[in-house]
Amino acid sequence: MRKLFATTVTSARPREREYKLTDGAGLYLLVKPNGRKLWRLNYAYLGKQRTLSFGAWPDVGLADARERRDEARKLIAAGLDPSHEAKLAEARAMLSEENSFKLVAEEWVAKQEREGMSEVTLSKIRWLLAKAYPRIGSRPVAKITPQEALAVLRSIEATGRYESARRMRSVLGRVFRYAIATTRAEMDPSRDLRGALTVPKAKHLAAITTPKGAGELMRAIEGYTGHAITLFGLRLSAHLFVRPGELRQAEWSEFDFDRSVWNIPEQKMKMRRPHRVPLSTQVIALFEQLWELTGTGKYCFPSFRSPLRPMSENTVNAALRALGFSQEEMTAHGFRAMAATLLNETGKFNPDAIERQLAHMETNAIRRAYTRGEYWDERVRMMQYWSDQLDEMRDGARVLKPNFRRA
Q: Which residues are catalytic?
A: 243, 270, 333, 336, 360, 370
Pairwise CA distance, residues 315 & 291, whole Å: 19
Which residues fall within 8 angstroms of residue 306, CB to CB, at 6 or more apart?
none
Diameter over CA atoms, the chain? 112
Distances from the Cα of 18 to the Cα of 35, 223, 400, angstroms: 9, 97, 101
- CB contact set of 134 (below 8 Å; sequence gap of 6+): none
| C-alpha distances out from residue 1 to 4, 26, 42, 68, Å | 10, 11, 16, 19
Cα 29 to Cα 41: distance, rounded to the nearest angstrom: 9
Cβ neighbourhood burial of 117 (10 Å; 0-12, 13-18, 19+): middle
Q: Name the β-bridge partners of 105.
A: none
For residue 51, what are the β-bridge partners?
42
Rg of the chain, C-alpha, whole Å: 34
Tell me, what amino acid is at 229?
A: I
Find the DSSP H helices in 182-331: 211-222, 228-240, 244-248, 281-294, 315-322
Q: In the Cβ-directed half-sphere of 361, how many Cα atoms lie within 13 Å? A: 8
Helix, strand or coil, per DSSP, at residue 29: strand
